[in-house]
Structure formats: structure tokens, C-alpha cells
């Protein structure tokens, strides 16, 4: 049998198509984000978290009764075991919420005696459970590790309202909840991004969904992926909200020393990130009634134009979600967790797509280390 041809992929797998997906993607020109056939602008403007999550899991927008029962199932699955609340008490007050969530999701895995059973019914039930519990794990893991009282989920509220309530500790106003919900829809999925690909690699070994989601959380934690929204907000606070002159000087200095500006650039979108226009539209609506939001909006818009002029780099979604979360009173360290709560929908949907049409993902590496060395007894080593 002849040896299969070796294909050398570029470092970072840039521009390499490794598989097909019917979940989400970018059009060939790299201008539009598509969720199961719908443009992200359309869903971002119109869909609730539950509608978009249903679309990802079940491949179509729900009817009124499908949405009712799906929302009810998610609401009733939101609570986590008492033992997990207890476990959160053992954590140091410096514990990173992404580590806490990896622990929380693994803990949930230990309670699923059929975690390795990949039958269709169990896959979907498990996926709904993981999506539902993620905000409770993140919000209460963070609260309890910081010595605060937990805020237990309220099944009478929608997913987005309850998630934000558990994070900020009060029931959000309607316009706050919708601003938050829009970012959840925008973050839900994005082709084979690093955390989704990680999830799919784990799925391809036929490991369980909890392990795959914990892997996704790990990949998302990095500043080149999920944590860019936190770094972008830190930069805006460093400059001083509303200080346009300060922003210009800050940026020029960073660019002169070849530093990366967080919230700019993208592996796929080279001209515009379509998610930005939806986030900007909602932020500008919110800014009509809120002075701090207006200042932040103007500053971000200015920096966006300057970065394009100077580096031809577009703002990405993280540049605008950071300010939105700041306005909603979410602590900076919880920005990536909010991203993760939403991306969980994508991760579990990709997990299901992978395991139901699986081939182990196992690339090769070119070995470039030394060869032919011989073992020497420890006393003879120099």
C-alpha cells in the first residue's frame, strides 16, 4: 500500500479548511457571519438567547410552543448541586472564574453516570443541561470564592436576565438585559475558532461533552482569544473614559513600540467584523439615555477610526463588548466568562456535529529535535 501524501499546513493553520460544518461560518469574501443560514445582523437584532440557542442545537428557529418548552427546560435545568456551592467555598478569593468553571463543568460530569453514552437523546439533553447551568456555575463560583453570598437561579426569568442578575446581584432593567442578551447572541458561535476547534478535537476522541467544554473554556481563557474584551476595557480605563486626546497619544505610543492593541485585528475579518456593527448599534441606542455610555461610545468610535487609518486593522467584537459589560456593572474578570456562557452553545453544538460524523483529529508534527543520542548512566553525565 502506498504511503498517503503528507500535507504541510502553515503554522497556526491559517486559511486551512480542516472539516465542514453546518453550524456557522463566514462567507467566502470574509465579510458576513452566518448562523445556520441566517446573517448575524438579522439574529443579533431580533433573536433572544433561547431562540438562537435552539437554532444552533436543532437547526431551525423554534415555533412558539417549541420555544416555550425549550425555555422552560433551560430554566428548570439552571440550578446546580448543593455540593458545588460547597466546593466553591474552598477556593481562594483569587481563583480565576475560567478555572472555576472548568472545575464546575468537570464536577457536573461526575454526576452524569452516562457521560460516555452518546445516544442522540442523551446528547441533546446533556447539551441543554450544560448551556443552562453555565451562568450559575460562573456567577456563583465567582461570588462564593470572593466571600459573597450566592444568588440562586430564578426559573421564572429568561436565560439572559437571570445570568446578568446572578452576576451583578440585582435584577437588570429591561434595556440592560437586552443589551446583554445581544452580546450573548453575537458570541454564540464562530466557525472553527480556537476554543471550538479544541472542543472538536476532544470530541473526536469520543471523550465526553463535559471534558470537551472544559477544554473549550481553557482555550478561550487566552488573551489572543476570549480575554481580549477584558484587556480592551482595561486599556480604555487606563486612558481615562472620554479622553480623546489621551487615547490618541496612548495608541501612538503603543503602536510605536509595536504593541498589540486588544480588540483589534482578526484572523478571518480583515476589513470589518460584522458583529461590531450590531454591538455598536445597541451601544449607541443605550448611549441616548446614558452619559457614561455616550462618552465610551465616542471614544471607541474614535479609536476604531484611528486604528483603521494607522494600521488598517478593524475593531473586533471584543472592543465593543468590553465597554458594554462595563456599563452593565459586570466586573472585568467576568467578561471572558460571559463570552464562555454564550459560546457554550456553539461548543456543545459542534460537539454533537463532531461525534455524530466522527473521524479522530490527529495531525502530524515534523520532528526537528536531535537524533541518535544514547542513554548515559547518571554518574557519567557532564
Q: Which residues are catalytic?
A: 266, 318
Q: Which three cell numbers stand for residue 86?
A: 460547597
Pull the grid cell for residue 370: 536531535
Cβ–Cβ < 8 Å for 144, 311: no
CB of 257 to ligand COA, least distance (A): 11
Q: Which string of x and - marks every residue 313-352 that binds ligand COA (by CB under 6 A)?
A: x--x-x----------------------------------
Cell readout for 354 is 463532531
Q: Which of residues 153-192 bind ligand COA (CB under 6 A)?
A: none
Number of residues engaging ligand COA in binding (CB under 6 A): 14
Among 53, 108, 228, 341, binds ligand COA (CB under 6 A): 228
Rounded Cα gap, residues 132 and 104, in angstroms: 13
Applying CB under 6 A, the span of 212-220, 311-319, 331-339, 374-382 interacting with ligand COA comes to 311-319
Kindly state whether residue 304 participates in binding ligand COA, applying the rule CB under 6 A.
no
Beta-strand ranges (E) seen in the chain are: 24-26, 33-35, 38-39
**How many other CB atoms sit within 10 Å of the CB of residue 60?**
11
- Are 292 and 329 in contact by the 8 Å Cβ rule? The answer is no
**Nearest residue to 142 via CA among 15, 303, 318, 332:** 332
| Site membership for ligand COA, residue 251 (CB under 6 A) | no
- Closest CB to ligand COA among 157 and 324? 324
Q: Is 208 in the site for ligand COA (CB under 6 A)?
A: no
Which of 172, 263, 314, 346 binds ligand COA (CB under 6 A)? It is 263
Q: Counting contacts by CB under 6 A, is residue 294 touching ligand COA?
A: no
272 in contact with ligand COA (CB under 6 A): no
Is there binding between residue 74 and ligand COA (CB under 6 A)? no
Regarding 271 and contact with ligand COA (CB under 6 A), the answer is: no
The residue within the footprint of ligand COA, chosen from 146, 267, 272, 285 (CB under 6 A), is 267
What residues contact 116, with CB distance under 8 A and at least 6 apart? Answer: 206, 208
Give the HSE-up count for residue 141: Cα atoms under 13 Å, Cβ half-sphere. Answer: 26
Tell me how far apart the alpha carbons of residues 47 and 203 are, in angstroms, rounded to a whole number: 28
Please report whether residue 221 would count as binding ligand COA according to CB under 6 A: no
d(CA 295, CA 277): 18
> Least distance to ligand COA from the beta carbon of 297, Å?
19
Q: Per CB under 6 A, does 195 bind ligand COA?
A: no
Min dist. Cβ of residue 224 to ligand COA (A): 5
Q: What would the grid cell of residue 156 be?
A: 421564572
How many other CB atoms sit within 10 Å of the CB of residue 112? 17
For position 125 contacting ligand COA by CB under 6 A, the verdict is no
What's the rounded Cα separation, in Å, for the pair 199 and 193? 10
Contact region with ligand COA (CB under 6 A), list: 61-69, 180-188, 200-208, 260-268 = 260-268
Among 23-31, 141-149, 261-269, 349-357, the segment contacting ligand COA (CB under 6 A): 261-269
Q: Which of residues 261, 279, 340, 345 is near ligand COA by CB under 6 A?
A: 261
**Which of 114, 173, 305, 311 touches ligand COA by CB under 6 A?**
311
Task: Give the nearest residue (CB) to ligand COA.
Answer: 265
First to last CA, the chain: 46
Binding residue (CB under 6 A) for ligand COA from 35, 49, 187, 264:
264
Distance of CA 320 to the CA centre of its chain: 14
Q: Which of 265, 274, 314, 337 forms a contact with ligand COA (CB under 6 A)?
A: 265
What residues line the site for ligand COA (CB under 6 A)?
A: 224, 228, 260-267, 311, 313, 316, 318
Amino acid at each position: 500500500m502506498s504511503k498517503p501524501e503528507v500535507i504541510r499546513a502553515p503554522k497556526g493553520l491559517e486559511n486551512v479548511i480542516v472539516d465542514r460544518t453546518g453550524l456557522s461560518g463566514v462567507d467566502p469574501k470574509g465579510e458576513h457571519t452566518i448562523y445556520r443560514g441566517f446573517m448575524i445582523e438579522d439574529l443579533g437584532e431580533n433573536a433572544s438567547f433561547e431562540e438562537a440557542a435552539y437554532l444552533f442545537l436543532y437547526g431551525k428557529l423554534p415555533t412558539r410552543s417549541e420555544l416555550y418548552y425549550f425555555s422552560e427546560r433551560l430554566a428548570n435545568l439552571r440550578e446546580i448541586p448543593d455540593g458545588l456551592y460547597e466546593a466553591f467555598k474552598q477556593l481562594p478569593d483569587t481563583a480565576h472564574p475560567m478555572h472555576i468553571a472548568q472545575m464546575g463543568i468537570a464536577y457536573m460530569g461526575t454526576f452524569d453516570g452516562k457521560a460516555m453514552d452518546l445516544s442522540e437523546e442523551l446528547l441533546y439533553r446533556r447539551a441543554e443541561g450544560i448551556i443552562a447551568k453555565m451562568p450559575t456555575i460562573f456567577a456563583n463560583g465567582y461570588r462564593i470564592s470572593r466571600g459573597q453570598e450566592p444568588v440562586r437561579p430564578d426559573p421564572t426569568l429568561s436565560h439572559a436576565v437571570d445570568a446578568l442578575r446572578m452576576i451583578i446581584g440585582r435584577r437588570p432593567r429591561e434595556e440592560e438585559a437586552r443589551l446583554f442578551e445581544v452580546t450573548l447572541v453575537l458570541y454564540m458561535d464562530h466557525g472553527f475558532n480556537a476554543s471550538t476547534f479544541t472542543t472538536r478535537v476532544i470530541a473526536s476522541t469520543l471523550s465526553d461533552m463535559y471534558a470537551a467544554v472544559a477544554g473549550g473554556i481553557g482555550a478561550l481563557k487566552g488573551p489572543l482569544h476570549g480575554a481580549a474584551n477584558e484587556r480592551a476595557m482595561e486599556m480604555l480605563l487606563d486612558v481615562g473614559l472620554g479622553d480623546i486626546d489621551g487615547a490618541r497619544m496612548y495608541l501612538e505610543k503603543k503602536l510605536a513600540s509595536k504593541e498589540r492593541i486588544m480588540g483589534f485585528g482578526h484572523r478571518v475579518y480583515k476589513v470589518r467584523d460584522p458583529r461590531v456593527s450590531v454591538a455598536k448599534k445597541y451601544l449607541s441606542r443605550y448611549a441616548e439615555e446614558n452619559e457614561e455610555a455616550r462618552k465610551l461610545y465616542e471614544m471607541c468610535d474614535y479609536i476604531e477610526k484611528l486604528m483603521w487609518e494607522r494600521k488598517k486593522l478593524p475593531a473586533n467584537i471584543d472592543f465593543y463588548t468590553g465597554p458594554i459589560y462595563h456599563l452593565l456593572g459586570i466586573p472585568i474578570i467576568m467578561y471572558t466568562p460571559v463570552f464562555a456562557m454564550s459560546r457554550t452553545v456553539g461548543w456543545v453544538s459542534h460537539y454533537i456535529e463532531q461525534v455524530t460524523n466522527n473521524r479522530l483529529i490527529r495531525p502530524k508534527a515534523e520532528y526537528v529535535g536531535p537524533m541518535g543520542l544514547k542513554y548515559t548512566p547518571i554518574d557519567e553525565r557532564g
